[in-house]
C-alpha cells in the first residue's frame, strides 16, 4: 500500500454538503409510449443526481402502473404530426402495432428498458410512486390492480402535501 | 486541462477535477480519489470500479448506472448504497474516467 498524499487538489463538488434538499415531482398523465418515456427518463436522471423524486400517475398515466396495461403501452401515428407520416396511414389496420413495434425497437437499441422494468429501476434508485385516487375510482381499480411498488393511492390534497417545496414537471 | 499531484503522482485533470488520461490511473490513485470524496473503499466498491475500467477500455465510454447494473452485475440499489447520491459520477471520478454521457 502506498502512502496516501492528501495534498488539496481540485475535487468535484458532488453536492454532499448541499443542504437544499432538492425535490422534483413528475405528474404523469399520459399512457402512450412516446409520452411515458420522457418523464421516466428525466426522473431517472434526477435520481442519479441525488434528487428526491416522486411520480404521481393520473388519468392515462395510470396505464404505466396498471398491471393489466403496463406491458402493452402503444404508440400511434394517428393525431401525431411529428411522425411526418400521412395521417390517413395511421388509420389502416395494423399501423399502430407496427409503429409500436418500431418505437420499442428503437428504445431497446439504446439499452433503455421497457416501462415495467424502468419503473423497477426508478424504485431501486429511490423513487416514490403514487396513484391518483380519482383515476383509480374512475377506472374501477384498486390496489391489487396496481404495481406493488406504488406506495399509495392518494388524492390531490395529499399530493400537494408531498410536493411541498418541490419542482414540478407535468407530462 | 491542468495537472495535480495525487498520491504522489502527477496526473492530468479537467476543470472539475476528473482525471483525463486513462493510463495515468492506478488503484492507489483510485484509493486516494475515493478518500477525497469521503468514500471508504471496500471489495464491493472495487468490483464496481474495476468493471468501469474494463468496460471503458472495451467501449470507449464510461458506462451508465444501468450498464453497471445489467452488464456489471451490481444491483442499482447497491450502487446507491456504495456511492451515495450521485453513484454514476462518483464511480467515474474514482475510476479516473470522464462522467458518463448516456441518459439511462
Nearest chain B Cα to A12, which residue?
B16
Active-site amino acid positions of B: 103
Q: Which fold has domain A23-170?
A: Hypothetical Protein Ychn; Chain: A, (3.40.1260)
Mean confidence (pLDDT) of chain B? 95
Q: Which residues of A touch B80 (CB under 8 A)?
A: 124-126
Q: How far does the CA of residue B74 sit from the closest CA of chain A (Å)?
A: 12
pLDDT of A3 strictly over 70: no
Q: Is residue B99 part of a domain?
A: no
Domain that holds residue B15: 2-94
Output DSSP code: residue B85.
S
Q: Which residues of A touch B38 (CB under 8 A)?
A: 16
pLDDT of A18 strictly over 80: no
pLDDT of A9 strictly over 80: no
Q: Is residue B103 part of a domain?
A: no
User: Is A82 an 8 Å CB contact of chain B?
Assistant: no
Compute how many other C-beta atoms are within 10 angstroms of the C-beta atom of residue A51: 20
pLDDT of A6 strictly over 60: no
CA distance B79 to B87: 6
Q: Is residue B104 part of a domain?
A: no
| Predicted interface score ipTM higher than 0.95 | no
Residues B21-60: b if buried by 16+ CB within 10 A, e if exposed:
eeebbeebbbbbbbbbbebebeeebeebbebbbebbeeee
Q: What mean pLDDT do residues A68-91 have?
A: 92
Q: How far does the CA of residue A143 sit from the closest CA of chain B (Å)?
A: 25
pLDDT > 70 fraction of chain A, expressed in percent and rounded: 94
Please write the tens of the pLDDT for every residue from A22-78: 999 999 999 999 999 999 999 999 999 999 999 999 999 999 999 999 999 999 999
Q: Which residues of B touch A16 (CB under 8 A)?
A: 37-38, 84-85
Q: Which long-range contacts (CB under 8 A, 24 or more apart) does B48-51 make?
A: B48/B72, B48/B74, B48/B79, B48/B82, B48/B83, B48/B91, B49/B91, B49/B94, B49/B95
Domain ranges of chain A: 23-170
Total domain count, chain B: 1
Please write the tens of the pLDDT for every residue from B10-58: 999 999 999 999 999 999 999 999 999 999 999 999 999 999 999 999 9
- pLDDT band with cut points at 50, 70 and 90 for residue A19: low
Amino acid at each position: 500500500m502506498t502512502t496516501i498524499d492528501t495534498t488539496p487538489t481540485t475535487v468535484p463538488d458532488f453536492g454532499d454538503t448541499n443542504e437544499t434538499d432538492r425535490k422534483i415531482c413528475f405528474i404523469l398523465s399520459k399512457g402512450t409510449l412516446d409520452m411515458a418515456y420522457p418523464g421516466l427518463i428525466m426522473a431517472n436522471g434526477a435520481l442519479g443526481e441525488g434528487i428526491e423524486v416522486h411520480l404521481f400517475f393520473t388519468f392515462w398515466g395510470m396505464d404505466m402502473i396498471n398491471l393489466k396495461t403496463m406491458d402493452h403501452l402503444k404508440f400511434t401515428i394517428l393525431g401525431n404530426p411529428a411522425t411526418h407520416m400521412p395521417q390517413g396511414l395511421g388509420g389502416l389496420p395494423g399501423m399502430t402495432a407496427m409503429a409500436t413495434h418500431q418505437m420499442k425497437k428503437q428504445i431497446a437499441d439504446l439499452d433503455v428498458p421497457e416501462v415495467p422494468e424502468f419503473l423497477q429501476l426508478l424504485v431501486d434508485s429511490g423513487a416514490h410512486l403514487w396513484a391518483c385516487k380519482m383515476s383509480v375510482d374512475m377506472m374501477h381499480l384498486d390496489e391489487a390492480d396496481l404495481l406493488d411498488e406504488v406506495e399509495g393511492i392518494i388524492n390531490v390534497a395529499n399530493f400537494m402535501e408531498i410536493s411541498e417545496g418541490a419542482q414540478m414537471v407535468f407530462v | 486541462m491542468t495537472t495535480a499531484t495525487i498520491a504522489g503522482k502527477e496526473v492530468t485533470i479537467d476543470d472539475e477535477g476528473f482525471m483525463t488520461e486513462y493510463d495515468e490511473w492506478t488503484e492507489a490513485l483510485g484509493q486516494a480519489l475515493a478518500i477525497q470524496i469521503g468514500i471508504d473503499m471496500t471489495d464491493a466498491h472495487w468490483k464496481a470500479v474495476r468493471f468501469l475500467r474494463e468496460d471503458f477500455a472495451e467501449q470507449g465510454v464510461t458506462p451508465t448506472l444501468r450498464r453497471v447494473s445489467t452488464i456489471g452485475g451490481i444491483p442499482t440499489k447497491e450502487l446507491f448504497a456504495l456511492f451515495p447520491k450521485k453513484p454514476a459520477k462518483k464511480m467515474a471520478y474514482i475510476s479516473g474516467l470522464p462522467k458518463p454521457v448516456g441518459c439511462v
